Amino acid sequence: MEIEKMSKKLNIVMYPWFPFGHITPYLRLANKLAKKGHTISLFLPNKALQKLASQNHYPNLITLIPITLPEVDGLPAGAETTADFPFGSEAPLWVAFDSTRSFIESYLSGPLGSSVDIVFFDYACWLPSLARERGIKSVFYVTGFIVHMAYVCPLGRGVPQGVRPLLGEAELKESLPGFPSASEFKLRAYEAQCFDMTLSPSRSYFWWRLYRSVEESDGFCYKTCREMEGDFGDFFEKLYKKPVFWAGPALPEPSTSEIGLDESVDEWLKGFDMGRVVYVALGSELGLEIDHFHELVLGLELTGLPFFAVLKPPKGYDTVESALPEGFLERMKQKGRIHDGWVQQQLILTHPSIGCFVTQCGAASLSEALISQCQLVLLPQRGDQITNARSMGGALKVGVEVEIGDEDSYVARDALSKAILTVMEPLSEVGRLVRANHTYWRDFLTSDGLEDSYISRLVEDLRGFVG
């Protein structure tokens, strides 16, 4: 890969929080910046580093620095990322993450640290002060879409900076005054509860730490495009009076690995017509309640379409097979396949047989989905997935969100089947609209020179930022 020569090279430190959905986009951005000739030191937990080392396309410019987590109460042996914890139980990982402060400080205080220009971080709300003491600028690099940060924003809801936000369901159901596309962002009761900061000390702590990172940073950078989210970026920038930088889509580099899609998966998918298989993936951390799980798989059966679903065992079950409805495996043995574990999602989404992607609307999955040929069915579960779905299904209209009730995330089989068939059937008016919009944005995001222009502009903005 050719490295672009620049008159002024930036020396950048990156320290992401420990979900793979944060770590991987940081490494992707590092690759984009290294291609321009800049040097990056990226701190990663040991196991994550080993898993992702092959995705470092510029090892002469990107140094992956292993982080060994200290022993803390409640941290299981070998646990290093949020994938090692059930959702909501990662408090010991936060403690371990913060306990690495002295290690990061020693790096910034050492001989290499003296040449650092910028620190990119997320959720390490103590890092900007370390950087500031050494004359280093800090940038909160957000790996998701800006719409989420703009919607929840405590400052826009009357909470002064430096005060721990305690916003409740009633306040969070409604958009902020002046919020772009406000009519598309009405939250249901249970969705507002996902953002409710008063329900538990741990939730209140999370939001406090998130917006302390916002307040302490010198600027923000988002893995998104101004063309898609410019109004939300302007709204956020106006509130905090700090610059918003745009990294563009920061798509993954084309794979240079000779390893293709798992042979058994590839052969199974090849048994179906082009664009007819429904791919379902609800994230590596989500375990559904058993009745929700049953409605989900029965909804897939109801479509009459073949499907490949990546699902965790529901709560209280050791395996997916043991939790399936009676007779389901026998009925679906020719048309349905359920997988528990990691899959090569990028390769699955580009397989000719895949025609629909039912996604939980995580930012990383949506980024991959937007550049695929698959039609999108949006099934958000929590957090930023909800505002992401509202943006994609409402403001941009590139997919169809599954209809659910107001009080919880329960998905009826009929609603799931209806959403899938809406995007898959050629005669559906709504389906034609979202397919056309998806095609528009796919062509835009993959257009020649787009990413390069975004990264070039980002570099120039950062150079001006650090003076």
Angle at 277 between CA 273 and CA 281, to 5 degrees: 160
Placement of tokens 């470092």 in the chain: 56
From the list 38, 117, 122, 438, the catalytic residue is 122
Q: What is the DSSP string of 403-429?
A: P--SSS----HHHHHHHHHHHH-TT-H
Number of residues in the chain: 467
Catalytic annotation present for 339: no
Structural contact between residues 50 and 158, judged by C-beta atoms closer than 8 angstroms: no
Distance CA 206, CA 211 (A): 9
Residues 6+ apart with CB under 8 A from 217: 121, 128, 138, 139, 140, 242
Label residue 406 exposed, middle or buried (CB < 10 Å: 0-12, 13-18, 19+).
exposed
From the list 22, 148, 351, 438, the catalytic residue is 22
Distance CA 355, CA 298 (A): 19
Catalytic annotation present for 98: no
CA torsion sign for 80, 86, 87, 88 is: negative
Distance CA 301, CA 311 (A): 15
Report the DSSP beta bridge partners of residue 336: 307
Structural contact between residues 109 and 134, judged by C-beta atoms closer than 8 angstroms: yes
Structural contact between residues 30 and 253, judged by C-beta atoms closer than 8 angstroms: no
Task: Calculate the alpha carbon distances from 426 to 279, 374, 420 in Å.
Answer: 18, 14, 12
Closest CA to 210 of 202, 232, 276: 202
Enzyme catalytic residues: 22, 122
